[in-house]
Amino acid sequence: MPKRIIIKGGEVAEEKEVPIIEPVKVEEKTESMKIAETTIEEEISLVKTPTIEEDKEISEAEIDAETAFEALKKKIEEVRTREKVTQQKFKDQPDMSIAILKKILQKWDALREEIRKSVAETIEKYRRLKVLYEARFSRLEEELYFNQIELDTLRELEEQGEPISISKKEELEKMVPELAKELAKTDEKLKEIDVKIEQLRKMSDNIYEVTAYKDLAAKLFEELATILQERRGEEALPALRAQIDSIAQREGISREYSTIYVWKKLRKA
């Protein structure tokens, strides 16, 4: 806007330029406030972390652990099968000596040590999986409490007659039960992993019992008990057990093979 020249008492003066302040439109300000309010509401209500990467990481760790566990079970079953075949062979071959038997059993013991190592590796895989589920549990727990507080706050404001976002309230009413369900599911998964880890620890501590085959020896023991009880009465059973234990300790073999050995001796007698 051009300046005006004012002549006053023979002096020329310029009129000072007055800045023009345009009025702010009420509707624009109101709209701006609405956008800001909506943004804040969205930021608060959408407290649910995207879990694509988390789900992928857990899924991969779960597959890794379960695959290792299945492979471990196959190794255990393989040793048990070898024990079964070896026991049958020792039973059926009268000339198979304990010395030869012990050399063969040393190979199965070496396999058991390999299984023990596999057990330790599998435990580590389940521990890693547990760490991932614990991280998920912590995240879900935080989200659940935060959103519960937000929902309770909205309900409190509503009771006080304050205006609230109905859409946000409905969203939270849907989200809170979902988070609670996910949290419970994750907690259950953690318990399952703990059970699995404990199962694996017991496997490692009792590796022979896990891989042993006992059906044949149990059957032969019943045959021996029946025969000896007919000959010597009830006192025969404690004597039979003592003899089996003595041979097992002396020869360094398991009770299963000691039972088969006693059975073979009795058959020859």
Q: Over the stretch 95-127, which tens digit does the pLDDT of each residue have? A: 999 999 999 999 999 999 999 999 999 999 999
pLDDT of residue 47: 58
Closest CA to 165 of 40, 32, 3, 267: 40
First to last CA, the chain: 132
Q: Residue 187: count other Cβ atoms within 10 Å of its Cβ.
A: 14
The pLDDT value recorded for residue 234 is 82
Flag whether pLDDT at 14 surpasses 70.
no
The per-residue pLDDT for 231 is 87
Q: Which two tokens stand for residue 210?
A: 């896990």
Amino acid identity of residue 41, one-letter, is E
Q: What percentage of the chain has pLDDT greater than the value 90? A: 77
Tell me what the mean pLDDT of segment 41-51 comes to. 58
Q: How far is CA 93 from CA 51, 188, 252, 254, 257, in A?
A: 62, 52, 20, 18, 13
User: For the purposes of burial, counting CB atoms within 10 Å of the CB of 82, is it exposed (0-12), middle (13-18) or buried (19 or more)?
Assistant: middle
Q: Mean pLDDT lowest for which of 36-50, 64-78, 96-110?
A: 36-50
For residue 13, the cross-strand partners are 6
Domain ranges of the chain: 49-211, 214-269
Q: Given a cut of 70, is residue 206 above it in pLDDT?
A: yes
Task: Give, in order, the Cα–Cα distances in Å from 242 to each of 213, 231, 238, 248, 268.
Answer: 21, 17, 6, 10, 20
pLDDT band of 269, cuts 50, 70, 90: low
Name the helix (H) or strand (E) containing 128.
Answer: helix 98-159
Q: Specify the higher pLDDT residue, 267 or 131.
A: 131
pTM as predicted: 0.76
Range of 3-7, 45-49, 98-102 with top mean pLDDT: 98-102
CATH of 49-211, one of 1.20.120, 4.10.280, 1.20.1050, 3.40.50: 1.20.1050
- Cα separations (Å) of 129 from 65, 115, 116, 222? 8, 21, 20, 46
